[in-house]
């Protein structure tokens, strides 16, 4: 089963990946085209394609309540810096080759879209750049660190095992 969701919606990411056991291997740029409603105007409608393998051992274990603790990561490829104007993307690394990578996102993208749309656009473009880079190199999103302290984190894992 598959569906798409906004990569910057931290609560959806946590539910879809950590709680349901979905994985992500594909990123769609501006999937729905330009959105003209007040809150989304000027921000591309990028989406991640979530793959949910209901019969997999991983999903069955997660659905049975066997959640893994926060997984270890070896390298951060997109950092988040808290500033007076809101959480800013910082420290992109497109050279990492470690097996487990971490990509931080803001915990509440909806607030950024309403209050600081330019910062929201900046986040969209930086997350796009990092996700496209690593997904095209054989990484997949396999977990999400719980949204807390103004941020959430995608865990990208290299390899084919699902």
What integer pLDDT is reported at residue 161 of this predicted model? 67
SS3 (DSSP) at 89: strand
pTM across the whole model: 0.93
Domain total of the chain = 1
Q: What distance in Å separates the CA atoms of residue 48 and residue 88, rounded to the nearest whole number?
A: 21
Range of the domain at 8: 2-158
Beta strands 47-51; 23-28: pairing state: antiparallel
- 159 vs 8, higher pLDDT: 8
pLDDT grade for 34, boundaries at 50, 70 and 90: confident
Q: Is the pLDDT of residue 69 over 80?
A: no
Residue 143: in which H helix or E strand, if any?
Answer: strand 139-148
- What single string gives the DSSP state of each residue in 42-82? TS---EEEEE--TTSHHHHHHHTT-PPPPPP-SEEEEEEEE
pLDDT digits (tens, 9 = 90+) for 83-112: 888 899 998 999 999 999 999 999 999 999
């Amino acid at each position: 089963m598959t569906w798409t969701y906004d990569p910057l919606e931290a609560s959806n990411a946590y539910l879809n990946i950590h709680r349901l056991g979905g994985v992500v291997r594909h990123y769609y740029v501006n999937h729905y085209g330009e959105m003209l409603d007040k809150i989304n105007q000027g921000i591309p409608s990028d989406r991640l394609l979530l793959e949910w393998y209901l019969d997999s051992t991983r999903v069955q274990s997660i659905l049975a309540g066997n959640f893994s603790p926060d997984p270890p990561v070896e390298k951060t490829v997109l950092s988040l810096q808290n500033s007076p104007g809101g959480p800013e993307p910082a420290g992109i690394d497109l050279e990492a080759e470690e097996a487990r990578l971490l990509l931080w996102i803001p915990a509440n993208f909806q607030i950024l879209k309403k209050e600081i749309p330019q910062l929201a656009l900046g986040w969209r473009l930086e997350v796009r750049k990092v996700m496209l880079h690593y997904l095209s190199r054989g990484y997949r999103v396999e977990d999400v660190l719980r949204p807390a302290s103004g941020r959430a984190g995608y865990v990208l894992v290299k390899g084919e095992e699902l």
